[in-house]
Structures are given as structure tokens and as C-alpha cells.
Structure 1
Amino acid sequence: MVTTTLSNVPGNEPLIAASEQLQGLIESLIELGVLVHDNQGTQQSHTALTMKTNQVVSQLSSITAASFTQQYPIPVDVISYIEDGRNPDVYTREFVEATAKSNARLKGRMLGFRKLRDTLGEKLEKEFPVLKDNIEDIKRRTSPE
């Protein structure tokens, strides 16, 4: 499934390990749900439920302590999306759209300030020819490289 596509790319070993840990956790949570649903109140079902709960807690601890999750923390917003039953891909799409809008707005501001700098420099150079070298220096230092 996911592991086969990830294994084709070198350097994805931590991601593959995290994926396998998550798959194991999902399976354990499903099994825990079945045990809770079918709980008959006997000592045997109580023992099985306790063991499965401890297994889920252990798996959660190992995922939390894994180097991959320490290196690439999951944003709280994504966790909230998942808790609300929403698709985390929606969060990613909305984040990318918001970032693109912000970048476009900032680019517009930069272009506006650049035009202001150039226009102001031209006007100052006309009125004060002595400042030509200083104006050129400012334009050179504030131009994108």
C-alpha cells in the first residue's frame, strides 16, 4: 500500500517506519473497538480489553517517541481536523491557498514600494542632481538580486 510507494524513494526509511507504526496502531484501535463492542462483562473479556488498551497506549508512546515525529511534528490544526472527522488533505489545501494569497499580496506590496522608490528617486534626482550617486546606491542596495 503506502509502504510500497514510499520504499521506492531513497531516504524514506523513517517515513516508512512511521507509516508502519500508524498502520499497527489503526489495527489495534479497530480491534479495541471490537472488544469494547462485544464486551460481555466476563473476567476473560475484561483481561483482553485491558491487554489491548495497554497495547494501544504502548503503540502511542512509541509513535510519540519516534525520531520521525520529533523531527517532523504534526501541527495542532491538523490534529484538530482529524478529531473533528475532517480530512487533513483539506487543511493542506486551505493552507496552500492561504499561503498563495499572502504571497501574492506581499509581492504586490513589494512591487508598489519598488515603484515608489524608483519614482521618488527620479524626482529627487531631478531636483537635487548632487544626490544622484546616493540615489543609485540606494536603488542598488534595495533591488532584488
Structure 2
Amino acid sequence: MASNELANKLEDTTQSLYDLALVIYNLEDTTPPDTIPENISTLVSHLRALPKIANKANEPISQDVLDYVEQGRNPDVYARQFSELVQKDNQYVHGKFLAMEEFQQTLAEEIASAYPNLRKDVDEILAQGSKQGDAS
């Protein structure tokens, strides 16, 4: 809840900055003299409220994300790159897992054909492996 409030206050602060920039950019002789001070006052009040709300927010932010933002980069890009990296690593590990399963099956077949008297033991070992695989 505090994070939603913080996000809303950050949006308000950003909007205040935008409004102030717009007023300054479009400044004319006909602009009321109190327009800029009012916008500055609104901005200051939003900025003053941020630390109070931020202290309520109790969600940790990764130092990597903070560094990314400090470098002027978009944290959404960081999240996307992180997700892609996790997906890539997951596919790699899954490929290794499948290769090991295939190797296990091939090895079991070769042992069973080379040593027919061990067929029962090989089948038991394969059965134990499949039970452990089902449990995880």
C-alpha cells in the first residue's frame, strides 16, 4: 500500500515538474505573476512529502537496479534483460538435464546389454532415479 502511495506521489511530483517547465517555457507578459511561485510551492510540497512516504515503503530495491537508474538508464530495460538472462540460463540448464537423462538411458542400455546379469540392478537404479525426478 505504501508503495502505491509512493508511486502516486512520485507521479504527482513529476507532473509538478512538468507543469513548472511548461509555465516557464510559455512565459509571456500576460502570465499572472503568481503562476511560477504557485507551481514552485506545489513542487516543494510534493518533494517534502516524498521522504515521509518513502520511509513507509518497505520493499527492497536491488543495488543493481539503483545503479542502473543512477546511470540514467531505464529500470524496465534492466528487468527485461534480467528476465531474458534467466530464461536463457534456464534453457541451458534444461538442455544439460535432458542430455544427462539421455546419457543415463544410453549407459543403462549399454551396461544391460554388456552384462545381462545386471539387468535387474540397472532397472532398479533407473526406477529410483525416475522416482526422485518425480519428487522434485
TM-score scaled by length of structure 1: 0.58
SS of residue matched to 1:86: coil
User: Aligned-pair distance for 1:132?
Assistant: 3.9
- Percent of aligned positions with the same letter in both sequences? 25
Q: Does 1:140 align with 2:127?
A: no
What amino acid is aligned across from residue 10 of structure 2 in structure 1? L
What amino acid is aligned across from residue 9 of structure 2 in structure 1? Q
User: Aligned-pair distance for 1:142?
Assistant: 4.2
For structure 2, the residue ranges without an aligned partner over 5 or more in a row are: 22-39
Q: What CA distance in whole angstroms lies between the structure 2 residues aligned with 1:76 and 1:15? A: 18
- 1:21 pairs with 3, 6, 9, which one? 9
User: Aligned-pair distance for 1:114?
Assistant: 0.7
Runs in 1 of length 4+ with deviation above 6 angstroms? none
Cα-Cα RMSD:
3.3
Match of 1:59 in 2: 50
* Structure with larger RCO (C-alpha < 8 A, sep 6+): 2
Query: Equivalences for 1:1-145 in 2 at 5 Å?
Result: 15-26=3-14, 30=17, 52=44, 56=47, 59-66=50-57, 70=58, 72-126=59-113, 127=115, 128-144=118-134
* CA displacement, residues 91-113 of structure 1 (integer Å, 9 cap, x when unaligned): 11211221121111111111111
User: Aligned-pair distance for 1:78?
Assistant: 1.5
For structure 1, the residue ranges without an aligned partner over 5 or more in a row are: 1-12, 35-47
Aligned length: 112
TM-score scaled by length of structure 2: 0.61
Contact 2:6 2:54 in 1 (8 A): yes
Contact 1:82 1:88 in 2 (8 A): yes
Contact 2:5 2:53 in 1 (8 A): no
